[in-house]
Structure 1
């Protein structure tokens, strides 16, 4: 660690901006020394001086560690249930919103503030989210301040001088544990959100992603209440102004595919679709960097430079070269950088209404076609399903592919019932003539361990065909069980892989696997049985028509491929 004396420490901020805030008066926040909106260079110096395990990498990025927690803790996220907002939120056994009362929230806030008040220094980042609401982050770590400097929308000097009262405050005391014996606590980690107080409290985890996703969770309440749709998606735009949204869970290629050198990037993760078009919630990117290579993802690789935060990566102790293939600390290695570090970023990060919506699924069962065009009902159904699959080796005990469903491709961040978001998506798609596609970035020719993964080259060729309009005019085949419209031919893609059954060595095994996956979708949708109370019985029934129609397992077991072939597949112009 570098040595810093009182003489060469950055000068603390005049605390008038903090003292006069109603949040400060309400919470009792009274830090000894406040660093407000320091430059990246100053934050580098303080992180290197006072945060063990922090280094400058060979490319100039700041590599640091988040401690014991190296990923989000969704089961420790709690939302205060209050009379003003409870009717709009989704509660129940399948909701991500674990209940907390106001008294416990205030107890945890007091615990967090008491800890922050004991420190020699705290960091404040005042910035914007959504290109409008003002957010204040109070944290104990310089790396957290740099992270949020990157991820939020940075104010100009004039905007900072007139920042005024924030709309939302995050108290990040993640280095200090929660009291697990307090009501509603299940561990020493707690991420608490109060819509009433417009505050978030973090205890027991220093993983920086909790701040980013806490703000995103807030947007999932505020935006729909204003008739705007918040989306966990990547977004880019063509030279003709045609916007594409990419939805996908971790490992499906959302960040990689939205970073297309031929199309300016609007954002990689969080967006809002309003009456005026789409815009990025954030001012930065938070990319997974496990197995990152300059050859396959040059835009992301080249963005990792001075000002970037690298979280929990492994690096050579002498050369400080990062080993992106290493999982020594975690598989969830991350890079946070300002969006302008992407060579083709579009600034400001706004665009028109999407022409295409692409739902990404890494199907490790190898039965979904590489691409299919979706009806409006199928778009709602598959958006709500949020399907991908785990593969053997990613988790202890996983020896076969496992279906994973995350509602709206981000269930951990939802505040309202998934049907609410899905119907808003359908309304906007219908109004603006948007086409939806289901893109399988997973396996072909068999499940994981038998077949092979669809190449990135072919996936990019499919996306190029979507953007060129080629697929809108393509002749399609309706697939069995799922009823998807799969194109028969695409420029640059081998025709045989477009119909998955054609490249399976055993068609009966294909039929059983496809039918089994259909049953998994149906079973998962039972979690949303209360959706009619949010969107009405007619709309709920309409959504269900977009799902698969699996056959009895006994029939497929006896007849194999003949059973699903008899169920129907036809050519559609």
Structure 2
């Protein structure tokens, strides 16, 4: 990319011009965790709190915005999507206008890039590229997706799906056809997701999960919103449930090996994690009941979203819901000592459905 200051460990030969980016001030490629920390703190995106986590605020949006999620309606995917209140369409023209305005907005600015993968099984692995305007969101992507450590493979990385996340760019509903200033739009023809108007990290991870939900069944893989672990006898267990029902907590069992806490595929070979990290709810987290997850809130590399802390001591308060009940920790799965390193397991022997239903099923 001409006339752009390019920094970082390894820049891919598949440049940003392939995504329409132009006239940037700087591009930061595949920065490691300490460098992203340095930049996030220097740019006042967050602060390092007691024992090393990075605490950030996501502003107005402290959770996902389902009413602001859209899919571009185009011929290659139109007949494969169940359109309705969940999968809301926008026209290709609306997507193009919003994307072009976002690209224009980014001119003269800097972006951060992480090239990674979704899908632990090499046979079904999806190369992804996450482009963000903030360092902390790039660290989030580094935590949540599967990293590539081979420098030559990084240099030759060609993404099959790209996320462009620019929270400071907001939509104009009357002009762009959105419901609000926030938007998350997937275009399967362009293999691109654009996110604006919201800083909530979960939008990045869930957008790629939506992509995997679309792509994997076409390859004979069942995508699942569940956690998974392996018992001492080698048997795999799945835990299905909505957000907050206990998937992450129950799967982080010290007597079992963790595969993953949220997103998996089930192929003819067995179960595999879509992610390289965990995104745990941490409100009122207990060191006695959830020791493995609790320890991640005291580790360098963990991002704490909307977790309160003492401004003087920098000690966090996991019981404080001042900002939101939906406080979160994003951390690499390697923070869990009993996690499997290959992110794969055999066919499930036990399937558990969690309801968190106070009135009884």
Pick the TM interval, shorter chain.
over 0.9
Note the C-alpha offset of 1:88. Answer: 1.2
Note the C-alpha offset of 1:99. Answer: 0.6
Partners in 1 of 2:286 and 2:87 — Cα distance?
Answer: 37
Find the partner of 1:41 among 13, 29, 34. Answer: 34
Q: How does 1:244-323 map to 2 (within 5 A)?
A: 244-304=237-297, 305-323=299-317
Question: Contact conserved, 1:125 with 1:138, CA < 8 A, in 2?
Answer: yes
- 1:139 aligns with 132
Q: How does 1:529-568 map to 2 (within 5 A)?
A: none
Greater helix share, 1 or 2? Answer: 1
- 2:330 aligns with 336
Partners in 2 of 1:110 and 1:99 — Cα distance?
Answer: 18
- 2:194 aligns with 201
Find the partner of 2:105 among 112, 115, 120. Answer: 115
**Quick one: structure 1 residues 246 and 311, their matched pair in 2 at CA, closer, same or farther if it must change by over 3 Å?**
same
Note the C-alpha offset of 1:308. Answer: 0.6
Question: 2:76 is paired with a residue of what secondary structure?
Answer: coil
Find the partner of 2:346 among 346, 352, 357. Answer: 352
Question: Contact conserved, 2:117 with 2:145, CA < 8 A, in 1?
Answer: yes
Matched, 1:51 2:44: yes
Partners in 2 of 1:41 and 1:16 — Cα distance?
Answer: 18
Note the C-alpha offset of 1:27. Answer: 1.8
Specify the structure having the higher radius of gyration (Cα): 1
Question: Contact conserved, 1:15 with 1:34, CA < 8 A, in 2?
Answer: no
Note the C-alpha offset of 1:25. Answer: 3.6
**Quick one: structure 1 residues 257 and 13, their matched pair in 2 at CA, closer, same or farther if it must change by over 3 Å?**
closer
- 1:67 aligns with 59
Note the C-alpha offset of 1:262. Answer: 0.8
- 2:185 aligns with 192
TM-score, length of structure 2 as denominator length: 0.93
Higher relative contact order (CA 8 A, sep 6+): 2
Partners in 1 of 2:11 and 2:267 — Cα distance?
Answer: 36
Question: Contact conserved, 2:8 with 2:30, CA < 8 A, in 1?
Answer: no
Partners in 1 of 2:295 and 2:183 — Cα distance?
Answer: 35
Matched, 1:101 2:91: yes
Note the C-alpha offset of 1:86. Answer: 1.2
Deviations 1:109-128 (A, max 9, x none): 11222222231x21001111
**Quick one: structure 1 residues 320 and 13, their matched pair in 2 at CA, closer, same or farther if it must change by over 3 Å?**
closer
Matched, 1:148 2:141: yes
TM-score, length of structure 1 as denominator length: 0.59
**Quick one: structure 1 residues 16 and 318, their matched pair in 2 at CA, closer, same or farther if it must change by over 3 Å?**
closer
Question: Unaligned stretches of 5+ in structure 2?
Answer: none
- 1:85 aligns with 77
Deviations 1:1-26 (A, max 9, x none): xxxxxxxxx972499736x44x6245
Q: How does 1:171-570 map to 2 (within 5 A)?
A: 171-304=164-297, 305-365=299-359, 367-368=360-361
Partners in 2 of 1:133 and 1:91 — Cα distance?
Answer: 24
Find the partner of 1:124 among 88, 103, 113. Answer: 113
Question: Contact conserved, 1:99 with 1:184, CA < 8 A, in 2?
Answer: no
Note the C-alpha offset of 1:164. Answer: 3.0
Paired residue total: 352
- 2:12 aligns with 17
Question: Contact conserved, 2:182 with 2:198, CA < 8 A, in 1?
Answer: yes
Question: Contact conserved, 1:276 with 1:352, CA < 8 A, in 2?
Answer: yes
Partners in 1 of 2:211 and 2:310 — Cα distance?
Answer: 39
Partners in 1 of 2:140 and 2:21 — Cα distance?
Answer: 25
Note the C-alpha offset of 1:343. Answer: 1.3
Question: 1:123 is paired with a residue of what secondary structure?
Answer: strand
Deviations 1:262-286 (A, max 9, x none): 1010000000000000000000000
Deviations 1:206-225 (A, max 9, x none): 11110000000000000011
Question: 1:181 is paired with a residue of what secondary structure?
Answer: helix
Partners in 1 of 2:343 and 2:57 — Cα distance?
Answer: 30
Partners in 2 of 1:91 and 1:200 — Cα distance?
Answer: 18
Question: 2:131 is paired with a residue of what secondary structure?
Answer: strand
Question: Contact conserved, 2:114 with 2:142, CA < 8 A, in 1?
Answer: yes
**Quick one: structure 1 residues 363 and 165, their matched pair in 2 at CA, closer, same or farther if it must change by over 3 Å?**
same
Partners in 1 of 2:105 and 2:237 — Cα distance?
Answer: 45
